[in-house]
Amino acid sequence: MDFTPETPNPWKTTRKSQSIVYQLAIGEMTAEEVCLSSGMVKRTSGLAWASRREILEEHGLYDACIVGSGDIGIFSAALGVFDHFARIREMNARRTEHYVAWAKPYFDKIRGRVGYIPGRVFHLWHCDLNDRGHLERDGLFARFDFDPYTDIALDPNGCWREF
């Protein structure tokens, strides 16, 4: 498709930010601040991640953050600040129990050994960043008293479904 002023490029963005791993590495943020970075203008947490195959086979990725911030949850576990993450994300006791049951063994393997590769990434955002509700969604979701042990289950294909 050819983009002209009459048909603007829908992927054009002026947003530039640095990854939280880079900012952690150069001392611009602490491990606890990682949990707060979702939705911040000058930080990105997702984009592209890599891991050793044996780590993924043993632990998988934590994917029960069903309203978002799973990338921050995984990174928080890697850094050992899972209790802080659960508190910031307004997780109830059952959500916290579920997350920490995955996060502690993951941290025991990773122990904060994370890094970055310098470079630029072009990201096709999920939707307009102003419409994603980064700062409100956890509080809104908390009122449902979500219990990942009883409210969702994995189907035969490994995808979450209602229980």
- What would the DSSP string read from start to end of 71-108? HHHHHHHHHT-HHHHHHHTT--HHHHHHHHHHHHHHHH
For residue range 116-141, list pLDDT tens digits in order.
Answer: 888 877 767 666 666 667 667 888 88
Q: What percent of the chain has pLDDT over 90?
A: 34
Q: What is the mean pLDDT of the chain?
A: 81
pLDDT tens string 90-112: 999 999 999 999 999 999 999 99
